[in-house]
Amino acid sequence: MLFTQKNSVEEVFQTVKHELHRGALDAKHPFRFVTLATQSENGVDARYVVLRTIDQEMNFFVFTDARSSKVAHLHTNPDMVLLFYHPHKRTQVKVKGKAEIISGGKTKAAFWSNIQGEAQKSYNQMLSPGTVIRDPSGAYSWNEPMTDSNFTVIQIRPFEIEALQLNGNEHLRILFSLEGNDWKKNWIAP
Ligand SMILES: Cc1cc2nc3c(=O)[nH]c(=O)nc-3n(C[C@H](O)[C@H](O)[C@H](O)COP(=O)(O)O)c2cc1C
């Protein structure tokens, strides 16, 4: 369990934040991989991504290829959801927020400087993600030299965080909502 009904809403907020930070720091933590849901004129979509970091202001950061569908979706509609699940703690965390696509500037340069060698290949495939190919091997060619031109950072500013912890018939559900600069914290019925 991550929290109990005896915890104050503030304690639960700090615990959930702490666990999210651990997801970004620890490659083996279940929050490391998260479902990112987006919406476009063609409907809803979802996919796993890696949670790269969470900063002091609680912005979430994800890396991707500028040519991927998620980037087009978020350009059209920045509303998105990150959905985490921790199987041992039996806890789901849903983060609703607005995404900003960062395709240049200091933030992108700082993140790119930490991506070295083979890892740069993820953003240097010659074919755009989703291109139809006759054979899988057709996708295994990369730009030479590798560049950061397709590397894109998705910055997510959350405005709602909800945690649901399963426990027999006594599930716990709590909602944190950003109002102005304050996070309102309320237990809600599971
Ligand atoms: C465990 C896992 C982690 C992934 N991490 C990322 C990631 O950090 N960034 C990314 O762009 N795609 C990641 N992918 C691939 C995406 O799920 C997706 O297939 C790809 O980005 C194309 O998505 P789109 O066409 O919906 O934009 C990951 C896939 C898995 C299974």
- CATH number of the domain encompassing residue 35: 2.30.110.10
Domain region containing 177: 9-188
1 in a structural domain:
no
69 in a structural domain:
yes
User: Which pLDDT belongs to residue 1?
Assistant: 95
CA distances from 22 to 29, 47, 53, 120 (A): 7, 21, 9, 24
3 in a structural domain:
no
User: How many other C-beta atoms can be found within 10 angstroms of the C-beta atom of residue 149?
Assistant: 12
4 in a structural domain:
no
Structure tokens at 103: 């395709």
Q: How far is the CA of 16 from the centre of ligand 1 (A)?
A: 24
44 in a structural domain:
yes
User: Which pLDDT belongs to residue 117?
Assistant: 94
75 in a structural domain:
yes
**pLDDT mean across residues, the chain:** 97
Task: Give residue-wise pLDDT tens across range 13-57.
Answer: 999 999 999 999 999 999 999 999 999 999 999 999 999 999 999
Number of structural domains found in the chain: 1
SS3 96: strand
In short, whether 84's Cβ falls inside 6 Å of ligand 1 is no
Task: Give residue-wise pLDDT tens across range 119-158.
Answer: 999 999 999 999 999 999 999 999 999 999 999 999 999 9
Q: Ligand 1, residues 44, 45, 48: which to mutate, most atoms within 8 A of Cβ?
A: 48
Give the CB-side neighbour count of residue 81, counting CA atoms within 13 A: 13
In short, whether 129's Cβ falls inside 6 Å of ligand 1 is yes
Q: How far is CA 177 from the centre of its chain?
A: 18
Residues 6+ apart with CB under 8 A from 41: 76
Write the residue with the smallest CA distance to atom 6 of ligand 1: 49
In short, whether 136's Cβ falls inside 6 Å of ligand 1 is no
Q: Model pTM?
A: 0.97
